Copies of this chain bind each other. A is one copy, B any other.
Amino acid sequence: MDVRTPLNITLIGAGTIGLSFAALHLSTATPSRPIRLTIHDPRPDLLAYIHATLTFYLPPDPLSAAQPSDPTPSPRPVIDQLFATNALILAPDLPTAVSTADIVQEQGPENLAFKIQTWKAVEEHAPATALFWSSTSGIPASAQSQSMRDPGRLVVVHPYNPPHVMPLLEIVPSPTTAPEVVARTVAFWRGVGRAPVVLRKECTGFVANRLAFALLREAIHLVQEGVASVEDVDAVVQASMGPRWAVAGPFKSYHAGGGGGGLRGFFENIGGTVQGCWEDGGRVEVGGGWEEEVFRQTREAYGVVDVGERDRVTRRVLEVVGEGKGVRQGRGADRKLSVGAARGSSSGPMEMERSSSSTTAQHP
């Protein structure tokens, strides 16, 4: 009999990012690596929200997949079964939520006072070895951890939405975050096939958003100038740098574009054009008056986006990139959900399954 103690992951905050992480974690569960996911969120409609949202983030249930011809599978049983097997638990208060956690992952309001208070309480009630992760998109760990006894325990783990689809996790330590915390965090994410990238310094907005928003700024400028419509800009990106950068990032691409001279050759060849584009680039501001036209064009072009289709195709893109490079990518989100993987876990031996790529610790 092979019954394992589950990995206890606690999510503080169950908005769309929280439930996307819930789906990601649950999808990585296997009989040899069961997950017990605890959610704490004070919203009164939490249960209904989980049923309405989490269901559609989860990969297909292998049981329901046995009847692929059924056009109207009821989503509810998957969630019910997760609850029934203690793979998914709702905690009424924070101390209960974190008391046996191996990982505490926070995606509450983007409010410094809330974060400071939360981490103070989490540290008080969680096991001494638990990892503490904040999904914040803007409040650095150094600010959030200021009332902790040991601020070195906190690290930012910033996803690219939605995390149950997109592989990136920006790992942003504060200057005092313990290297061991970073190492365990990276090992955890690598172990489930995701793409953690450790930043070397805290900075406004971290890296992914800064890069994407720099391009967005120029895109808004070009629409404002009447060079291209919102749809034209998207069509340009989808037919050029999108697919290119899915395979090779900008430095690697321009390094290849420079032929034998590499990135230096690239700048020798067209550095003048690059500088010309930079000098002519726009500096639009949020609230600068471009909004109504850009919002209108976007609404008229797209209405309500079919996120399900987008995410399905994005997963296929990630798969073929992973296949092409001979690596597995996005493993967690691509696997079938093993409902009830944590079954019997409370009576099993206290053995923890080591993630295959973990090199630092038994727990992640």
B197 touches A318 (CB 8 A): no
> Is A347 positioned at the interface, with any CB of B under 8 Å from its CB?
no
> Is A249 positioned at the interface, with any CB of B under 8 Å from its CB?
yes
Query: Considering the chains assembled together, what is the distance between the CA atoms of A293 and B344 in angstroms?
Result: 55
Q: Smallest Cβ distance from A200 to chain B, in angstroms?
A: 6
9 residue pairs, one from A and one from B, having the closest CB atoms = A234-B249, A313-B324, A242-B245, A195-B239, A168-B239, A256-B305, A160-B240, A214-B218, A242-B246
> Is A209 positioned at the interface, with any CB of B under 8 Å from its CB?
yes
Query: Considering the chains assembled together, what is the distance between the CA atoms of A307 and B256 in angstroms?
Result: 7
B321 touches A236 (CB 8 A): no
Query: Considering the chains assembled together, what is the distance between the CA atoms of A209 and B245 in angstroms?
Result: 13
A243 touches B199 (CB 8 A): no
**CB-based nearest B residue for A215:** B215
Copies of this protein, total:
2
Provide the residues of chain B in CB contact with A195, threshold 8 Å: 235, 238-239
Query: Considering the chains assembled together, what is the distance between the CA atoms of A198 and B297 in angstroms?
Result: 17
Query: Considering the chains assembled together, what is the distance between the CA atoms of A230 and B248 in angstroms?
Result: 12
**Chain A residue total in the interface (Cβ 8 A):** 111
> Is A161 positioned at the interface, with any CB of B under 8 Å from its CB?
yes
| A/B interface sample: 29 pairs, CB < 8 A | A16-B259, A166-B244, A197-B232, A200-B227, A203-B225, A207-B228, A208-B236, A209-B274, A209-B277, A210-B277, A212-B241, A217-B278, A233-B249, A233-B250, A233-B251, A234-B248, A238-B249, A242-B243, A242-B246, A245-B245, A256-B307, A263-B295, A264-B291, A275-B286, A309-B324, A313-B324, A317-B317, A319-B320, A320-B320
> Is A124 positioned at the interface, with any CB of B under 8 Å from its CB?
no
> Is A349 positioned at the interface, with any CB of B under 8 Å from its CB?
no
| A44-52, A83-91, A265-273, A354-362 - interface stretch | A265-273
A264 touches B295 (CB 8 A): yes
Hey, which bits of chain A sit against chain B, CB under 8 A? 16, 137-138, 160-161, 166-168, 170, 195, 197-201, 203-205, 207-219, 222, 225-257, 259-260, 262-264, 267, 270-278, 280-281, 283, 285-287, 291, 294-295, 297-299, 301-302, 304-305, 307, 309-310, 312-314, 316-321, 323-325
Provide the residues of chain B in CB contact with A278, threshold 8 Å: 213-214, 217, 283, 285-286
Which residue of the partner chain, among B227, B259, B316, B320, contacts A201 with CB atoms under 8 Å?
B227
A251 touches B239 (CB 8 A): no
A250 touches B280 (CB 8 A): no
Query: Considering the chains assembled together, what is the distance between the CA atoms of A320 and B240 in angstroms?
Result: 15
Provide the residues of chain B in CB contact with A254, threshold 8 Å: 216
Given contacts A215-B215, A234-B252, whether A313 and B325 have CB atoms under 8 Å apart is: yes
Query: Considering the chains assembled together, what is the distance between the CA atoms of A213 and B226 in angstroms?
Result: 19
Provide the residues of chain B in CB contact with A302, threshold 8 Å: 251-252, 255-256, 262
A277 touches B245 (CB 8 A): no
Provide the residues of chain B in CB contact with A215, threshold 8 Å: 211-212, 214-215, 241, 250
